[in-house]
Chain A
Amino acid sequence: MTAPPVLEVKNLNTSFLLPIGEVRALRDISFDVRRGEILGLVGESGSGKSITGFSINGLLSPPGQVMSGSIRLHGQEITGLTPAAMRQLRGAKIAMVFQDPMMTLNPVLKISLQMGDALRAHARLSEREARARSIAALEEVGIPAPEERLDAFPHQLSGGMRQRVAVAIALLHEPDLVIMDEPTTALDVTIQGQILALVQRLCRERGTALIWITHDLAVVAGIADRILVMYAGRIVEDGTIDELLDTPAHPYTRGLIDSVPTREQRGSRLRQIPGRMPALTDIPEGCTFRPRCSFATDACAAPQEMRSLGTRLVRCCHPLTEVSA
């Protein structure tokens, strides 16, 4: 009965080995995603959200590389797979919607050709079948007049249409694991709702496991079951939506939530966390958030382990839930 999670990441470390030194993009990342689960991945810009997706997908290229750690899909290790084996998985079992839709789309090919190729990479289909399935897929992501749009080149579409085409391509083969990196940044809320409805249905009905990378906490609040918060290459908090948003335990999480603009503040200065994330080449010992944290004490200079607080995990030696309780 207890099937392994769809994805298990353990102690993942990823670096870029630049001439000037090692950029430690990911440090000690561990998490699971189960069947049908929607996991929200949020965090500071540059904290490693996209690189987490790239590492899982086997799409890092030198000088980037997974230094250590394990990534299992349905219990099977995939870090050591050959590029050919990885290509077999990608598109069929794992799919990713890139933050930049042009990573999926080739600028010089019509959408029809690109979708047809993506379809035939993992299924035997005639020209006509491929076209029919492409049209249906575009319709599902809310692209009007999909037949005409199939004959367009990517630059003839708006930013949000390119995003939706990338989403449609990722979902063509109903993969077991989908990683979506900021997939709705160019969509208005009504079209965004269409995409959210689509992925929710896939997760609930087909058991697709979904990692939704975003800066939009409110969207995550609406669809995710669980949230991971990243800061400077590490997971600093991991918990269910309600506990994490209502009673954030890590000071960074709290700072993020407090920075969401509210209607009352119209026109006034927005709250922001003071300071800036450290460069990932020389990461200070101890808690990386310490220089910006208004709760920091001497104890924060020591290395911070993940601590469990009931059902959640937090990398902070004085979690806010304990201070205030």
Chain B
Amino acid sequence: MSEPILTVRHATRRFGEGGDLVTRVLARLGLIRPRPIVTAVDDVSFELERGKVLGIVGESGCGKSTLGRMIAGLLPPSAGEIILNTGDGAAALPMQMIFQDPFSSLNPRKRVRDLVGEAPRVHRVVAPAELENYIERLMQRCGIDPSVRDRFAHQFSGGQRQRIGIARALAVEPEILVADEAVSALDVSVQAQIINLFMDLRDELGLTYVFISHDLGVVEHIADTILVMYLGRVVEMGPAEVVFDQPLHPYTRALIAGVPRLDRRHVVYAPIAGDIPSPIDPPPGCHFHPRCPFARDRCRAERPENRKVMGREVACHFAEDIASQKEPSSWPATQTA
């Protein structure tokens, strides 16, 4: 049982490498600007057990979708490996991905019935005679009125398309699902319905999830393990309740402290203090140091390794030291009330 369904070892993905020979030679000679190389995912390792939910959070552009696409087998890693250990081949398509962008991931000229029903028909997930019922039940569970099954994808709102994408991914009864911002366009009530559905499928079928989201409230609710990324690297990873109850990495702390809440009204927001580091030319040492209120000389020079500290892994030289310290009040990590 404890055999992981997914093992990721030192997965790394770079973009912008290579190019044709002429461009590379010209760039080497300094005659044209070299294409910038982005290390979107930098040496990420973890294991995920069957039936568990891994929540991935992190800064916009830190490599979450890239990591998700590598896990889903849609993008080869530049280095490292990703091992999928799905069951005895019961599922025709054991891995499914729900894409971040519901607009471009659904063919606008296809009807909902085909978007949802095509793969289960081709892969014989259900008998042809039952297909119609199957589609209807899935649509219902995902909160889409089955009476619209003959409409085209472009005739739906953002959140409706997102649910069509979810129904499509679930239709082939996968064993592991990579959900990239899969509920981000849903109002809270419909979102609750989908999250409840995800949890039911985990309990009923042992479905495993890699759940990428910027919505910490949702991630905290459903994730067993949480992985926090910053500029391609894992900065903190551990059991969700441990990380949420006492985040140690300064970036995780900023994330959790900044979560908007219903009772925080009339907030005056402040721009980010410090420079926002770029993945094209990441700062040396700890990638977060230009924005970190606790940064010291060592952080500017030496890359922090992932270490076990207080029940989780964290990549911060001073995790223990700052655990009990508050951010200086002059540092508006995210906002000021």
Contacts and interface: CB of A to CB of B under 8 A. Distances in A.
A185 B278 contact: no
Contact of B262 (A149, A161, A218): A218
A270 B240 CA distance: 17
A278 B143 CA distance: 11
A277 B269 CA distance: 35
Contacts of A157: 61
A261 B264 contact: no
B280 A188 contact: no
B189 A190 contact: no
Contact of A259 (B159, B192, B214, B271): B192
Nearest to B140: A276
A297 interface: no
Contact of A16 (B155, B158, B192, B195): B155
Contacts of A163: 60
Contacts of B215: 216
Nearest to A44: B187
Contact of B158 (A144, A182, A194): A182
A271 B192 contact: yes
B265 A186 contact: no
A200 interface: yes
A251 B306 CA distance: 49
A99 B184 CA distance: 11
Contacts of A144: 275-280
B201 to A, nearest CB: 13
Contacts of B276: 142-144, 191
B284 to A, nearest CB: 15
Interface residues of B, number: 79
Nearest to B33: A151
A159 B181 contact: yes
Interface in B100-115: 100-101, 103-104
A17 interface: no
B254 interface: yes
A270 B148 contact: no
Interface string A215-259: 111110111000000000000000001100100000000011101
A277 B143 CA distance: 9
Interface of A: 16, 18, 20, 42-46, 49-51, 99-100, 102-103, 142-145, 148-149, 156-161, 163-164, 182, 185-194, 196-198, 200, 215-219, 221-223, 241-242, 245, 255-257, 259-261, 263, 265-267, 269-273, 276-279
A43 B187 contact: yes
Nearest to B162: A45
A190 B220 contact: no
A142 B195 CA distance: 31
Nearest to B147: A279
A192 B184 CA distance: 14
A190 B333 contact: yes
A176 B101 CA distance: 29
A46 B266 contact: no
B191 A215 contact: yes
A99 B217 contact: no
A135 to B, nearest CB: 13
B259 A189 contact: yes
Q: How would you classify the secondary structure of chain B's contact residues: helix, strand, loop or mixed? A: loop
B270 interface: yes
A276 to B, nearest CB: 6
B262 A186 contact: no
A191 B103 contact: no
Given A187-B60, A197-B271, A46 B160 contact: yes
Contact of A221 (B36, B186, B254, B264): B264
Contacts of A259: 188-189, 191-192
Interface string B212-247: 001111101110000000000000000011001000
A226 B41 CA distance: 41
Of all A-B residue pairs in the complex, the 3 with the closest CB atoms, nearest first, are A160-B60, A45-B159, A144-B278
A163 B185 CA distance: 13
Given A50-B158, A218-B262, A257-B262, A190 B254 contact: yes
B255 interface: yes
A196 B336 CA distance: 12
B265 A221 contact: yes
A168 to B, nearest CB: 14
A261 B100 contact: no
Given A156-B15, A186-B100, A270-B221, A215 B271 contact: no
Given A164-B60, A193-B272, A261-B217, 17 more contacts: A44-B187, A45-B160, A46-B159, A100-B104, A103-B103, A142-B271, A186-B181, A188-B255, A190-B255, A193-B258, A215-B186, A215-B187, A217-B262, A257-B262, A259-B188, A259-B189, A272-B193
Contact of A269 (B181, B191, B196, B241): B196
